[in-house]
Each structure stands twice: as structure tokens, then as C-alpha cells.
């Protein structure tokens, strides 16, 4: 918590301890929802009990709507409140946030809280709960403003004035026909700059971008970002508007997706924080042990060349140099390919591969030459330098190519290419590098040593 919030926490705790309702309200209600939620989560149980008597559920809704805390954690606070307080709180909150909490608490609790809501409200929540995770339906809220196409700017403005306090965002006013089909959109700017008697249909934009309720969140995030929207409408299969997704939720999606990509690249979930090292280890071990088996394959391959190794033991010195460098090159080309696939929808695959082939050749030759010189000079043996250098060039070329071919192949068979991790590529390239290295060494040996 930032210093200013620490100071506020001290002040607010003071008012709570003195049961100073007025003092508490004066400070607390002047804060932003996000700040309120940070402070609220920092209070202890006794303090929270007082908060529920100091501020109304309608005022607390702000705290629950703007929190960045885990929805499951927020759900636990509901148990501390009276039934009528919970009911009013949930009714006042935006439906998408209620749904977030409900999908993160135990079913028995969910059922109880649903029972506290008015029938339409409960039905709306029930409907939203059933949308699959990471779809438009699971992200949207139902608090949007829509007007009928027959209205004028004046009557639309009256409607907006009435609805404004309930809507999550009023930047766009959606225009629907008599069967609720989405036919246009107005901005609040249009509304306030046009005279009252103008017809809505005369100024609305008829090219409305909407997403299907089952559409994947990543595609939606891309659209909102490209088009610079602050909200996007969601429609069902009959093109009726059923909700909107606001830009703050889109930002969370973008964060989530990029954290996922980052996690995949490292072969570990970087987001779920656990302070229990056993749980942390349990999350990292599966990937490590899987790769261990791949690593054992490499070991059996080296074992296969034990005769060669005992004959020319100097070869062992450069195993880790070659596998390590090839692994690094493979990780680079993997990361580039994954990002290209993710950000570029009309990518020429052939071109990407060709470019990686050429890049691999250049990188391989340059690195191979460096190694040739270094090893040759160091060991005073340019034949050995040639073996290690050639193996290095070959290993890099293969690792580089694998780094781009594997994610492309995964995309082709419908697997998220981001799942291919750096550790996987480098462990795989250990295998190919060793194969290349010892075969080249054997070949050179036969060529020159006989």
C-alpha cells in the first residue's frame, strides 16, 4: 500500500476505534472506489463490522465494483453482513462483478445469495454465470443504455438522464429496433451537441461493431484495442443486444493474456502466488520432471557415444557450450515466432520460416566461426576447433528452425503456440545438439585419424 493510503488507513482506523461515524464517512466517501477497496481489505474483522453500520450497502457497492482483489476473497466479506445488507449491496453492484464473485464462491453460498436478490436480478445473474469462462458473456455487464430508434435526441436524453446512475458507462448509447435488435450507436457527444428535435436515426452510426456472446476474450480485446473503443456491445444469436464489455475489463484481459504468454515462455505459472513452498514446488515440478525424461534421452544418446568419448575425452568439454548456445538461439526464435503468430493475423508462414532458415544459417556461421577460432587457439588444435565450430553451426541452425517450426505446427493443429516453452525448446535442442556434435566428431575422426 502506498504511503498516502497507509496514512489514510491510520486516520480511518482512528475514526473506527472512536466509533466516529461522521468522521469516517467524511474521509472514506471522498476517496476513489479503488482506494476505498484497498483500505477496506486492510481493515480487520471488528473494523469491517463497524463499516457495515457506518456506510450504506449502496455506498459499499462502489468498493466492491472497483476492487482489484480476488473475487473469491471479496465473496467472503458477504458472510459478515446481514441478509438485507447483502441484498442491497448486490443489487447496487454491476452485474458482471456480482457474477465474478458468484463464480468464485462455494455453490451453497451462491444459492443463498441468489435467493436474496429480486427475481429479475437473480435471473440476470444466473444467465451470466452460465457463460463459459473467457467468453464475451462472462465479461459483459448488463448495465448499458439503449434507446429505441423511433426516439428523438430530446427523448433519448431524458432516458439517459434517468438511466445514467445505473449504467456502467455512458459514452455510448445503443440504438435498437422494436425487437431489441442492435441497429446503431450514438456517442454521448452526439447527444449533447445535437438539438432535441433531431431524430436518433438521423445521426446514429449504423456500422456498429458488436461481438457474439460466445466470442473468445482475446479476439475481443484485440478489437477494442485496434478500434480504440471504451466499450463494445455484446449480441446474442438473434443480434439482440444483451450486454456491454467495458474497457477496464478489456485491460484486465490484456494483462491476463500477456501474463499467460510470459508464463508459458518460462514454463511456469507466474501469476498464482502461494506462500507455501510445497504448493509452489508442486506447480513447477510436473514440467521439470517431464523435461527430465527428455534430458535422459539426451543422456542415453551421449552414452551411445561413450566409446568415442573415452577415446577423445576432450569432446566432453564442449558439450554444455554447444547445447547451451543452441538452446539460447532456439529460445530466441521461439519467442519471435510465438509473438508473430499472436499479433499478426495475416502472417505469411512460408516467409517466416524462410526468414528463420536464413537467420539460422547466418547466426550459425558467425557463432561457429567464433567458436572455431576460440577453441583452435585455446587448445592449439584447429581440427578440434573445426569439429566444435561445425557442430555449433549445425546445432544452432536446427534449434533455430525448431524454435519457429514447433509453434507454427502447434498453431496448425489448433494448439495455442504459446504453450511451447523456452525450457522445452532448450531441452529438445540439447538432444539434437548432442546428436549433431558427436556425429560430426565421429566423421572428422574417421576422416583424419586413420
Site for a copy of itself in 35-94 (CB under 8 A): 66, 68
The C-alpha atoms of residue 181 and residue 185 are separated, in whole angstroms, by 12
Chain centroid to Cα 212, Å, comes to 20
DSSP structural state of residue 207: -
Write out the H or E segment, with its range, that includes residue 231.
strand 231-235
The C-alpha atoms of residue 210 and residue 174 are separated, in whole angstroms, by 11
Cα angle value 370/372/378 (rounded, 5°): 100
The C-alpha atoms of residue 433 and residue 327 are separated, in whole angstroms, by 9
* Selected range binding a copy of itself among 86-94, 123-131, 237-245, 319-327, rule: CB under 8 A: 319-327
Residue 96 Cβ vs a copy of itself, minimum distance, rounded to whole Å:
12
Q: What's the first-to-final CA gap in the chain, in angstroms?
A: 73
Confirm if 325 and 363 have CB atoms less than 8 A apart.
no
| 321 belongs to the binding site for a copy of itself (CB under 8 A) | yes
The C-alpha atoms of residue 268 and residue 285 are separated, in whole angstroms, by 9
DSSP reduced 3-state for 101: helix
* Selected range binding a copy of itself among 39-47, 55-63, 91-99, 279-287, rule: CB under 8 A: 279-287
Q: Which is nearer to a copy of itself, 117 or 221 (CB)?
A: 221
Among 200, 234, 250, 387, binds a copy of itself (CB under 8 A): 250
| 296 belongs to the binding site for a copy of itself (CB under 8 A) | yes
* Selected range binding a copy of itself among 27-35, 79-87, 93-101, 107-115, rule: CB under 8 A: 27-35
| 328 belongs to the binding site for a copy of itself (CB under 8 A) | yes
| 219 belongs to the binding site for a copy of itself (CB under 8 A) | no
Residue 61 Cβ vs a copy of itself, minimum distance, rounded to whole Å:
14
Among 17, 106, 164, 443, binds a copy of itself (CB under 8 A): 164
| 108 belongs to the binding site for a copy of itself (CB under 8 A) | no
Residue 346 Cβ vs a copy of itself, minimum distance, rounded to whole Å:
6
Residue 295 CB coordination number (10 Å): 14
The C-alpha atoms of residue 361 and residue 179 are separated, in whole angstroms, by 62
Among 45, 277, 350, 446, binds a copy of itself (CB under 8 A): 277
* Selected range binding a copy of itself among 52-60, 91-99, 294-302, 442-450, rule: CB under 8 A: 294-302
Name 213's Cβ contacts closer than 8 Å, sequence gap at least 6.
131, 135, 136, 137, 140, 234, 235, 236, 237, 242, 243
Tell me how many residues contact a copy of itself (CB under 8 A).
Answer: 116
| 183 belongs to the binding site for a copy of itself (CB under 8 A) | no
The C-alpha atoms of residue 384 and residue 377 are separated, in whole angstroms, by 10
Which residues in 129-149 are b (16+ Cβ under 10 Å) and which e?
A: bebeebbbbbbbbbbbbbbee
Which residues sit opposite 174 in a β-bridge?
146, 185
| 368 belongs to the binding site for a copy of itself (CB under 8 A) | no
Residue 212 dihedral angles phi and psi, to the nearest 5°: -75, 150
Q: Which is nearer to a copy of itself, 108 or 350 (CB)?
A: 350
Q: Is 239 left (phi over 0), alpha (psi -120 to 50) or beta?
A: left
| 10 belongs to the binding site for a copy of itself (CB under 8 A) | no
The C-alpha atoms of residue 208 and residue 144 are separated, in whole angstroms, by 15
Residue 83 Cβ vs a copy of itself, minimum distance, rounded to whole Å:
29
Among 426, 436, 440, 441, binds a copy of itself (CB under 8 A): 426
DSSP reduced 3-state for 238: coil
The C-alpha atoms of residue 398 and residue 401 are separated, in whole angstroms, by 5
Among 55, 395, 422, 441, binds a copy of itself (CB under 8 A): 422
| 327 belongs to the binding site for a copy of itself (CB under 8 A) | yes
Residue 105 Cβ vs a copy of itself, minimum distance, rounded to whole Å:
23
DSSP track, 282-307: HHHHHHHHHHHHHHHHHHHHHHHTHH
* Selected range binding a copy of itself among 90-98, 125-133, 292-300, 405-413, rule: CB under 8 A: 292-300
DSSP structural state of residue 181: B
| 374 belongs to the binding site for a copy of itself (CB under 8 A) | yes
Residue 238 Cβ vs a copy of itself, minimum distance, rounded to whole Å:
21
Residue 103 Cβ vs a copy of itself, minimum distance, rounded to whole Å:
20
Residue 45 Cβ vs a copy of itself, minimum distance, rounded to whole Å:
22
Of 329-348, binders to a copy of itself (CB under 8 A) are 329, 331-336, 338-340, 345-346
Of 185-204, binders to a copy of itself (CB under 8 A) are 188-189, 192-193
Q: Which is nearer to a copy of itself, 361 or 383 (CB)?
A: 361
Among 108, 197, 202, 303, binds a copy of itself (CB under 8 A): 303
Write out the H or E segment, with its range, that includes residue 173.
strand 172-176
| 376 belongs to the binding site for a copy of itself (CB under 8 A) | no
Amino acid at each position: 500500500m502506498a504511503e498516502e493510503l497507509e496514512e489514510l488507513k491510520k486516520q480511518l482506523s482512528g475514526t473506527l476505534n472512536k466509533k466516529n461515524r461522521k468522521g469516517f464517512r467524511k474521509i472514506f466517501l471522498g476517496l476513489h472506489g479503488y482506494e476505498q477497496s484497498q483500505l477496506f481489505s486492510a481493515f480487520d474483522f471488528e473494523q469491517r463490522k463497524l463499516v457495515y453500520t457506518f456506510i450504506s450497502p449502496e455506498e459499499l457497492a462502489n468498493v466492491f465494483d472497483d476492487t482489484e482483489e480476488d473475487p473469491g476473497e471479496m465473496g467472503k466479506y458477504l458472510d459478515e453482513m446481514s441478509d438485507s445488507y447483502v441484498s442491497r449491496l448486490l443489487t447496487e453492484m454491476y452485474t458482471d462483478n456480482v457474477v465474478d464473485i458468484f463464480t468464485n464462491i462455494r455453490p451453497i453460498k451462491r444459492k443463498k445469495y441468489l435467493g436474496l436478490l429480486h427475481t429479475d436480478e437473480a435471473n440476470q445473474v444466473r444467465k451470466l454465470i452460465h457463460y463459459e469462462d473467457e467468453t464475451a458473456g462472462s465479461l459483459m455487464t448488463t448495465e448499458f443504455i439503449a434507446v429505441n430508434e423511433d426516439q428523438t435526441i430530446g427523448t433519448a436524453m431524458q432516458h439517459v438522464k434517468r438511466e445514467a446512475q445505473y449504467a456502467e458507462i455512458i459514452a455510448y448509447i445503443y440504438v435498437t429496433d422494436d425487437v431489441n435488435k442492435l441497429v446503431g450507436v450514438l456517442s454521448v457527444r452526439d447527444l449533447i451537441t445535437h438539438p432535441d428535435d433531431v431524430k436518433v436515426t438521423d445521426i446514429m452510426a449504423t456500422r456498429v461493431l458488436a461481438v457474439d456472446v460466445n466470442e473468445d476474450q482475446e479476439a475481443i480485446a484485440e478489437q477494442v484495442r485496434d478500434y480504440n473503443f471504451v466499450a463494445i456491445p455484446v449480441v446474442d444469436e438473434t443480434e439482440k443486444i444483451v450486454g456491454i464489455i467495458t474497457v477496464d475489463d478489456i485491460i484486465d484481459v490484456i494483462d491476463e493474456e500477456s501474463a499467460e504468454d510470459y508464463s508459458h515462455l518460462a514454463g511456469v505459472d507466474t501469476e498464482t502466488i502461494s506462500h507455501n513452498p510445497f504448493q509452489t514446488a508442486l506447480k513447477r515440478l510436473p514440467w521439470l520432471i517431464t523435461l527430465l525424461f527428455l534430458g535422459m534421452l539426451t543422456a542415453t544418446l551421449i552414452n551411445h557415444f561413450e566409446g568415442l568419448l573415452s577415446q577423445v575425452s576432450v569432446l566432453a568439454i564442449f558439450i554444455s557450450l554447444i547445447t547451451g548456445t543452441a538452446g539460447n538461439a532456439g529460445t530466441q526464435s521461439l519467442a519471435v515466432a510465438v509473438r508473430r503468430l499472436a499479433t499478426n493475423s495475416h502472417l505469411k508462414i512460408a516467409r517466416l520460416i524462410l526468414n528463420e532458415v536464413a537467420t539460422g544459417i547466418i547466426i550459425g556461421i558467425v557463432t561457429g566461426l567464433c567458436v572455431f577460432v576460440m577453441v583452435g587457439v585455446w587448445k592449439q588444435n584447429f581440427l578440434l576447433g573445426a569439429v566444435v565450430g561445425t557442430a555449433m553451426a549445425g546445432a544452432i541452425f536446427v534449434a533455430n528452425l525448431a524454435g519457429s517450426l514447433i509453434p507454427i505446427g502447434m498453431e496448425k493443429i489448433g494448439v495455442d503456440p504459446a504453450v511451447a516453452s523456452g525450457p522445452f525448446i532448450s531441452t529438445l535442442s540439447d538432444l539434437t545438439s548432442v546428436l549433431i556434435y558427436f556425429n560430426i566428431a565421429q566423421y572428422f575422426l574417421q576422416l583424419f585419424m586413420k
